[in-house]
């Protein structure tokens, strides 16, 4: 019996017991540790209320089924934060791409390549995308590229020509270097402009060539 | 996660009733024991246990349980203890600090019948009575430490206490219980 053990002393021993030092140095300590052992053992076998097992299992089954009938977005949102972040980036990326695709571009511009033997080949999708969105493209050295603008004007780029089309203005061509032949559909209200580093050429409707020579030519 | 558990989780993922049954049969008493001795309310303890099982179903359905390699028992006990501590906090918010003893409600009775009134059972009942009469703040720390094997730091961070406060509450609870029960043990 350790009932009269001073509280401070018992606190020290209780701390030792928690640290796993359970070998009592004397009878008093041994009795105390034995009492703690018994207390622990009885605590771990305290009675527990009996659960209504069929009811809980039924609730689990319903929860499981409800999970599969919920909207997919809800399920996605309930996933781990990383998955949520990835999903958000994907949605934002898709929205930006859509905005880009539906932006002010000459949507009807047709492009085709012809090599030296007049064999027609489709340009790669990246090349086509660059041209559609106003980025400069270089005509391959072994053929020509024919661009049909939305108003049916035709621009033929010679080999190695670097050219760009303004996505906002339908009749504006930028020629950085090389040579183009332009068949401009007549339109007195909107001249077709070919801008070069040396100046602009504007026509209302005709066929003309523009050549930009490299500085060493 | 051991093979048995992995198999149960797999069967639960497929929605097998026998897996739900097996999990409830295996762990429900651990959950209700912990919840009852933390909350002191039979109905609430049963609610807490059921909610822990439903959380497990949701976690498995989301495919997160297996990836985290948790043990089923640890997951369920953590859910139950967190829910109990939330409920204890809400009680204090709603009714002011409740420092009293457990007041069993509902139909909670000991599982024993008069035919099983052995000396051992009488000793167990004395522990139950002594626990019910402990101040709640000591009982919660004692139960988390002794029944749920939690560390000082874990209990301290969950209850918003310092580790020294946890230590003192545990030692006081242990001393009180020992002093009340030891006379009967040595008979």
At a CB cut-off of 8 Å and minimum separation 6, what does A166 contact? Answer: A134, A172, A173, A174
Is the predicted pLDDT of residue B15 greater than 50, yes or no?
Answer: yes
Tokens at B118, concatenated: 């052995």
What's the average model confidence in pLDDT over B66-87? 85
Residues of chain A neighbouring B68 (CB-CB closer than 8 A):
none
10 Å CB burial of residue B116 (0-12, 13-18, 19+) is exposed
Q: Which residue has the higher pLDDT, A205 or B181?
A: B181
Interface of A with B (CB under 8 A): 1-3, 7, 10-11, 14-15, 18, 32, 35-36, 38-40, 42-53, 56-57, 59-61, 63-65, 67-68, 75, 78-80
pTM of the predicted structure, to 2 decimals: 0.59
**pLDDT band at B77, cuts 50/70/90?**
very high
What per-residue confidence (pLDDT) applies to B96? 55
Tokens at B99, concatenated: 């420092």
Answer yes or no: do A53 and B25 touch at CB < 8 A.
Answer: yes
The rounded distance, in Å, linking the Cα atoms of A20 and A118 is: 90
What pLDDT tens digit does each residue of chain A (217 aa) get? 555 788 899 999 999 999 998 887 888 889 899 999 999 999 998 989 999 999 999 999 998 888 666 555 555 566 667 777 888 899 999 988 877 666 544 445 677 777 766 676 766 777 777 777 778 888 888 888 888 887 888 889 988 899 988 776 678 888 989 999 988 888 888 888 888 888 888 887 777 777 877 655 4
The rounded distance, in Å, linking the Cα atoms of B143 and A18 is: 14
Answer yes or no: do B58 and A47 touch at CB < 8 A.
Answer: no
What per-residue confidence (pLDDT) applies to A23? 83
What per-residue confidence (pLDDT) applies to B105? 45
What are the start-end ranges of the H helices in A102-201? 125-132
The rounded distance, in Å, linking the Cα atoms of B182 and B187 is: 9
Element (H, E) at A111: strand A110-115
């Amino acid at each position: 019996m350790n009932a009269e053990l001073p509280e401070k002393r018992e606190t020290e021993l209780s701390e030792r017991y928690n640290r796993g030092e359970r070998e009592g140095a004397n009878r008093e300590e041994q009795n105390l540790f034995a009492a703690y052992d018994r207390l622990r053992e009885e605590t771990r076998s305290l009675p527990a209320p009996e659960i209504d097992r069929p009811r809980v299992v039924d609730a689990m089954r319903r929860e499981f089924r409800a999970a599969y009938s919920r909207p997919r977005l809800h399920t996605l949102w309930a996933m781990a934060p990383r998955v949520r972040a990835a999903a958000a980036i994907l949605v934002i990326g898709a929205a930006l791409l859509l905005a880009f695709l539906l932006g002010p571009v000459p949507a009807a511009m047709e492009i085709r390549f012809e090599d030296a033997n007049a064999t027609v080949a489709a340009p790669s999708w990246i090349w086509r995308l660059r041209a559609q969105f106003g980025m400069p493209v270089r005509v391959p050295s072994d053929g020509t590229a024919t661009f049909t603008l939305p108003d049916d004007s035709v621009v033929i780029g010679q080999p190695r020509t670097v050219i760009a089309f303004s996505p906002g203005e339908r009749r504006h061509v930028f020629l950085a270097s090389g040579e183009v032949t332009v068949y401009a559909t007549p339109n007195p209200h909107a001249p077709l402009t070919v801008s070069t580093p040396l100046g602009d050429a504007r026509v209302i409707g005709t066929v003309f060539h523009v050549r930009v020579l490299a500085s060493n030519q | 996660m051991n093979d048995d558990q992995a198999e149960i989780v797999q069967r639960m993922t497929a929605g097998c009733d026998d897996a739900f049954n097996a999990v409830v049969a295996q762990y429900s008493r651990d959950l209700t024991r912990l919840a009852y001795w933390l909350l002191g309310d039979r109905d609430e303890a049963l609610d807490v246990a059921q909610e822990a099982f439903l959380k497990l179903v949701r976690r498995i359905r989301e495919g997160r349980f297996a990836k985290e390699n948790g043990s089923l028992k640890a997951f369920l006990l953590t859910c139950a203890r967190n829910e109990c501590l939330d409920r204890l906090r809400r009680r204090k918010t709603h009714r002011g600090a409740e420092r009293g003893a457990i007041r069993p409600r509902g139909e909670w009775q000991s599982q024993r019948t008069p035919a099983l009134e052995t000396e051992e059972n009488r000793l167990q009942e004395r522990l139950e009575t002594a626990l019910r009469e402990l101040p709640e703040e000591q009982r919660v720390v004692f139960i988390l430490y002794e029944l749920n094997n939690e560390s000082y730091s874990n209990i301290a961070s969950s209850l918003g206490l310092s580790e020294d406060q946890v230590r003192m509450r545990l030692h006081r609870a242990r001393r009180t219980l020992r002093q009340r029960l030891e006379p009967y043990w040595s008979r």
